[in-house]
Every structure is written in structure tokens, then in C-alpha cells.
Amino acid sequence: MAVTMPRGSLQVKSIQNYIDGRFVSSKREFADVNPADGTVIAQVAEADRDQVDAAVQAGRRALRGEWGRIGVRERAALLQRVAEGIESRFDCFVAAEVADTGKPISLASKLDVPRAAANFRVFADLIKTSGLESFQTETPDGKRALNYAVRKPLGVVGIITPWNLPLLLLTWKVAPALACGNAVVVKPSEDTPATAALLAEVMQQAGIPNGVYNAVHGFGPGSAGEFLTQHPDVNAMTFTGESQTGAAIMKTVAASVKPVSFELGGKNAAIAFADCDFDETASGVAEAVFMNTGQVCLCAERVYVERPIFEQFVQALKRKAESLKIGSPLEKMTDLGPLISSQHREKVLSYYRLATEEGAVAVTGGGVPQFGNSLDHGFYVQPTIYTGLQESARCVKEEIFGPVCHVAPFDTEEEAVHMANDTKYGLAASIWTSNLKRAHRVAQEMNVGITWVNCWFLRDLRTPFGGVGLSGIGREGGVHSLNFYSELNNICVRL
């Protein structure tokens, strides 16, 4: 068993690596901490270099064996079984994700776990139905040739993921990688190892052959993350996490010229025009700022509001922030859980202090809530809204990754577009207006990978997803994922 759970308790005790279809311990272990109260919920096996190598070699063997021979229809059926396996252990996945991340149970039940199953279903369907282009070519001697392409797996794909939406982001990459016939070695975040281990149990029960899905645990530098990126037999790396980590991984893999896909940080803007539906916009922007305690790469940390509604909007956002129920992730009514770790809380609080030093006005929040119970040992911060900063302030330029935003007024559409685009990041934007022409015009001006109009984080998994600038390299989603996780071999036949 990857994960042992005492009867009647949600507490996880031991999390192991999953290599070649077997759960294996390691010489070293590290603690998995529940961010809601700081308690240790599991000891996690930290894979050493040899174990990472064993996982990669298991992937290679799987590709040479049964997995390398089965057809698309059977692969798709196996992915559907994985989706069913996740759904049949829904409560277990929710409990593990909530314990690891501290996110509210309502969010894990509504977003993370259903999306994990959906990731497998969507790519199971897509791999069966997607076609490739073909061209009939006229040759210089007046005859013809036929060009067509076939998909081949890349081989062993290394997948490294963060802690904010652990299962969702892991399966977002595992599902298309397996759909294309690859084997994977995943390295989930050291802060959230549990659901990757539970997924191994689901893979086993679904009949995914040994070696196709391997999970190794550990940290980045000098640990499993780096061992995986350095491994010469890994054919491609896909990574979600901080931009700086992406840069380090890129350097490591450069020597072996591997394909990379990077989904990185963001400093996303929301732009509210005076003609927006005010209540809908206040609710939508509040969700974009505070969901998952602001720990979604797509969250809006910069809110630009057209001057005629600025004061009223700031007050509406303040009311929304102050009405959020902060508390135990296990309470159904909780809106806001803790941050992931004491280290991350220190980072977010350092920005709260910096905002004051940079001259911000705290409209609400800026500190740490007190509960008078065990939650005081958790890593909570108050939802926070600032105004009054210069656009050049570090708090407006740097990703904080907490429940915080800065709200600034604007007078013209051009000014709003300029401020929104004045960032080294370029992941997502949201535009709130009832003027359809302006919505399209401004959306097309955004220098990002995804622009939402009158909504936020509304996903269709067939669409391209990724960022520009510091926010990433490449696009995943739908056929874009299939194209990343496969090599296309073009065949030219002289007729």
C-alpha cells in the first residue's frame, strides 16, 4: 500500500514511492505537515538517485513491453478506468487533498477531484477521435506524393508539479502523456505527496501495466526533482511551478536538448469597466483574488477599476473579503483555509509588511487571524486588499501567491491595457464589461495565454493553456497536449 490510513481516521501515516508497480520505502524520510494545524500527518519516503533511476528504467521497460504494443482504443479504455477509480475513491482523494493542502473540503470536492477524473476522461476521448493532417503533394515530374503524419510517444516523460492544486495539476499532465502512449515518472511537491500516491493505487487497480506510472517523492535541488531532470533517459520534462524553478530546470535539461513544457507563475490583472454588471463583477473578482487562499496561478493580484466606480468597487470587494469564512478546511462552510506552509506564510507576510513600507493603504486585512484553538498553529493569513501603491511597487510587480490584491483606478481603456500588460509575467487576465466590442478589443490586446471575459477560471480542457514571458513555455490542453506528449513522424509516399 502507498498510503496507510488508520480505520476511522483521515490521518495518513506513511507514503511510499511507486516504482515499477511496487510501493517502496527509502532510506530517508521527510514529514508531511497539515497546514491547518501544523501537525505531522505522514512520513514520506524520499527517493534517492538510484530510486529515481529505477523509476525511469521501469518506464523504459514498460515502453518495450505490453504498454508499447497496445492500441489507442485499449489505452483510452484504461484511462476511463482510471477516471472511474478516482470517482470510486472520491472521499479518500478529497480527504487526502484537504489534509495535505489545507484547502476547504468544499473546494477539493468541487474543483480538484472532479477535475482529476475529467482530465482522464477528456484525453481518453480525444486520443480516440483526434486526427492528423495529410497533404497530397505535386512532384516536380508531374506525379504525386502523399504526406501524412503518425503520432509516436516521446518515451519516458518526467512530470514535476506544485502544491496548490496537486492532483488536478498532476493529472492534467499524466492523462495526456499516457493517452499518447508514454510512461511517466512524476515528482509531486514535497508539501503534497498524498494524492500522487493514491493515484498509484488507482493505476494498479485499473490495470495500467507496471512501470507506466511511477511516483517518486522528495524535494527539488539535491533530491528527487533534480535527479529526475538530470536523468539522461528521460525524454521530455513537463513542469508546473515557480518561474525561477522553471529557469533552473531549463538549465539542467538544456544539455540533453529535451522538449520542455513549463506552466509557471503569474501576476494576473482583472480589469473592471464602469459599464460592468457591478454585483457579478464584485463576486467574480473576489473569487479570482481569494480562491484557494489566493494560491492559484491564475488568481488576480492586480485589480484595475474604472474611476467612476472605483470607491464603490473597493468597498464591495472589502465586504466580500470580510464575509469570507476563515477556518477549518473540514468545515463545509469554510471559504478560506491556511497557506501551504509556515515558510510560505512568512513570504506572504513579508509582502504585507512591504506593502505598508511602499505606502499602501490596507483596506482590509494585512495580518494573521486568531482562532483561540489548534488552528492558531496553522498557517493562516487574513484576506487583504491594498490601494494606493505606485505601479512600480514590488507588491504590484512580484507574484505573492496569497489572498491579496492591489486595486488601482484607471481613466481610459488604453491606460488599463497598458497597466495590465506592464509585467514580466503573462498568464491570465479577466475583463469585466457589458460592452461586447470593448470586451473583444481589450481581450485581444492582453499579453497573456488566457483571457476571461465576465468570468474567471472557466475551463474547457480542449483549449490551449499556458503563459507568455515568465509565465511559461508552450501550451497544453486538448490537441496542444497531444502535440507536446508525442513526436510526429511525417511519412512521404511517392505515388
Which residues are known to be catalytic? 263, 297
Q: Which of 169, 271, 285, 316 contacts ligand NAD by CB under 6 A?
A: 169
- Is 365:385 a contact under the CB 8 Å cutoff? yes
Number of H helices, E strands in the chain: 17, 21
451 is a site residue for ligand 6OD (CB under 6 A) = no
482 is a site residue for ligand 6OD (CB under 6 A) = no
Q: Helix 194-206 and helix 166-179: axis angle, to 10°?
A: 40
Distance CA 264, CA 243 (A): 5
382 is a site residue for ligand NAD (CB under 6 A) = no
Please count the residues of this chain forming the interface with ligand 6OD, following the rule CB under 6 A: 10
465 is a site residue for ligand 6OD (CB under 6 A) = yes
Pairing assessment for the beta strands 134-138 and 144-153 based on DSSP bridges: antiparallel
User: In this complex, which beta carbon is closest to ligand 6OD, that of residue 262 or of residue 313?
Assistant: 262
Task: Tell me which stretch binds ligand 6OD (CB under 6 A): 192-200, 293-301, 308-316, 431-439.
Answer: 293-301
187 is a site residue for ligand NAD (CB under 6 A) = yes
Distance CA 283, CA 71 (A): 47
296 is a site residue for ligand 6OD (CB under 6 A) = yes
Q: Cα 219 vs. chain centroid, distance in angstroms?
A: 17
Is residue 218 classed as helix, strand or coil in its secondary structure? coil
Q: Choosing among ligand 6OD, ligand NAD, none, which partner's interface includes residue 192 (Cβ < 5 to 8 Å by kind)?
A: none
Q: Judging by beta carbons within 10 Å of its beta carbon (0-12, 13-18, 19+), is residue 138 exposed, middle or buried?
A: exposed
Task: Tell me which stretch binds ligand NAD (CB under 6 A): 244-252, 307-315, 327-335, 405-413.
Answer: 244-252
Q: Choosing among ligand 6OD, ligand NAD, none, which partner's interface includes residue 57 (Cβ < 5 to 8 Å by kind)?
A: none
CA angle 90, 93, 96 (to 5 degrees): 150
CB of 198 to ligand NAD, least distance (A): 17
190 is a site residue for ligand NAD (CB under 6 A) = yes
The residue written with cell numbers 500522487 in the block is 196
Tell me the residue number closest to ligand NAD, measured at CB. 220
Distance CA 310, CA 240 (A): 35
User: In this complex, which beta carbon is closest to ligand NAD, that of residue 234 or of residue 363?
Assistant: 234
CB of 351 to ligand NAD, least distance (A): 13
Which residues, 262 to 281, sit near ligand 6OD by CB under 6 A? 263
Q: Which of 219, 278, 371, 457 contacts ligand NAD by CB under 6 A?
A: 219
389 is a site residue for ligand 6OD (CB under 6 A) = no
Distance CA 203, CA 197 (A): 10
Reported as half-sphere exposure (CB side, CA atoms, 13 A), residue 201 has a value of 16
Distance CA 451, CA 446 (A): 7
Tally of CB atoms within 10 A around 26? 19
User: In this complex, which beta carbon is closest to ligand NAD, that of residue 67 or of residue 484?
Assistant: 484
User: In this complex, which beta carbon is closest to ligand 6OD, that of residue 213 or of residue 452?
Assistant: 452
459 is a site residue for ligand 6OD (CB under 6 A) = yes
Distance CA 276, CA 451 (A): 16
Joined grid coordinates for residue 155:
518515451
Task: Tell me which stretch binds ligand 6OD (CB under 6 A): 25-33, 290-298, 382-390, 487-495.
Answer: 290-298
Q: Choosing among ligand 6OD, ligand NAD, none, which partner's interface includes residue 189 (Cβ < 5 to 8 Å by kind)?
A: ligand NAD
Q: Choosing among ligand NAD, ligand 6OD, none, which partner's interface includes residue 426 (Cβ < 5 to 8 Å by kind)?
A: none
265 is a site residue for ligand NAD (CB under 6 A) = yes
Which residues, 144 to 173, sit near ligand 6OD by CB under 6 A? 164-165, 169, 172
Distance CA 61, CA 389 (A): 56
249 is a site residue for ligand NAD (CB under 6 A) = yes
- Is 321:285 a contact under the CB 8 Å cutoff? no
Distance CA 271, CA 419 (A): 10
Which residues, 407 to 446, sit near ligand NAD by CB under 6 A? 427
- What residue spans of 238-299 are helical by DSSP H? 243-254, 278-290
Joined grid coordinates for residue 61:
521497460
Distance CA 8, CA 224 (A): 33
393 is a site residue for ligand 6OD (CB under 6 A) = no
- Is 416:442 a contact under the CB 8 Å cutoff? yes
Task: Tell me which stretch binds ligand NAD (CB under 6 A): 95-103, 148-156, 320-328, 467-475.
Answer: 467-475
126 is a site residue for ligand 6OD (CB under 6 A) = no
Please count the residues of this chain forming the interface with ligand NAD, following the rule CB under 6 A: 32
Which residues, 104 to 163, sit near ligand NAD by CB under 6 A? 160-163
Q: Which amino acid is located at 277 in the chain?
A: D
User: In this complex, which beta carbon is closest to ligand 6OD, that of residue 420 or of residue 461?
Assistant: 461
Helix (H) or strand (E) holding 219: none
**Ranges assigned E (strand) in 289-349:** 300-306
Tally of CB atoms within 10 A around 307? 12
Q: Choosing among ligand NAD, ligand 6OD, none, which partner's interface includes residue 172 (Cβ < 5 to 8 Å by kind)?
A: ligand 6OD
Q: Which residues bind ligand 6OD (CB under 6 A)?
A: 164-165, 169, 172, 263, 296-298, 459, 465
Q: Which residues bind ligand NAD (CB under 6 A)?
A: 160-164, 169, 187, 189-190, 219-221, 225-226, 229, 240-242, 245, 248-249, 263-266, 297, 399, 401, 427, 467, 471-472
